[in-house]
Structure 1
């Protein structure tokens, strides 16, 4: 099965959630810096959950092993690419003071660590443990629709 549409859902949700969190941070400037750290987790997990939900809703099944590893890897790569774009825009816009003094090796380690964290969150979010709750809810919804149709 082709997982590219779900990587697209993941990417769109990531951009949307990032915009929402940026808007919240701009409206409430008194939020602590830890809000930015927590928002990264929420953005990744929300994007993963949305893509997983769309897959379960369309296919009424969980990912098989091949699909699971493909979507986990591709979503992680998409997340890293989008994050590079967002960080590049933040640095260019002056939103990250002191970033120009960081050595390139530090940036590489930061990006590698962030990539591993994102991969872990995606692996957890696409796992059958998380997908089972979506599948159970979708099958219950389908059963209600089928029951109401034939009454």
Structure 2
């Protein structure tokens, strides 16, 4: 069977895995930042990449674990787009809470156009990280590991 002829599955459960992992990793990184207030500001920037890539890797692993294959082209673009939108919505909520709580001093002086630019640029970066994380290049490692695990289980079962 050709790679593109595989029956497509719904990507919504995996967007849910992505969102849950994103919330969980955000809470973990916020906890680490609170426990160690002496961490430099660059920790916050690096944690954003780690949160996005960790969430993408987890959702990709769950897909491969359940389906034993890589994403087809349609699934790839859907999950990349929907995961990026979920990430942007979560980020928008967190920024809104930070601004409302006064955790971002000087944020009221930024014009609306600057906020739009920041959100669009952040969304573009998240989309690029998701596109890279869901790519077949990254998924091949998960698929190889999962197929090796399945072979080991099957070998032990039939001994």
1:117: which partner in 2? 125
Q: 1:46 aligns with which of 54, 68, 74?
A: 54
Q: 1:98 aligns with which of 106, 113, 121?
A: 106
Helix, strand or coil at the partner of 2:104: coil
Q: 1:131 aligns with which of 115, 124, 139?
A: 139
- Where does 1:1-151 land on structure 2 (aligned, <5 Å)? 1-151=9-159
Helix, strand or coil at the partner of 1:35: helix
Helix, strand or coil at the partner of 2:78: helix
Query: What's the C-alpha RMSD, in Å, of the aligned pairs?
Result: 0.5
Helix, strand or coil at the partner of 2:102: coil
TM value normalised by structure 1: 0.99
1:93 Cα shift? 1.4
C-alpha distance in 2 between matches for 1:50 and 1:142:
19
Helix, strand or coil at the partner of 1:82: helix
TM value normalised by structure 2: 0.94
Unaligned 5+ runs, structure 1: none
C-alpha distance in 1 between matches for 2:14 and 2:94:
21
C-alpha distance in 2 between matches for 1:101 and 1:12:
33
Unaligned 5+ runs, structure 2: 1-8
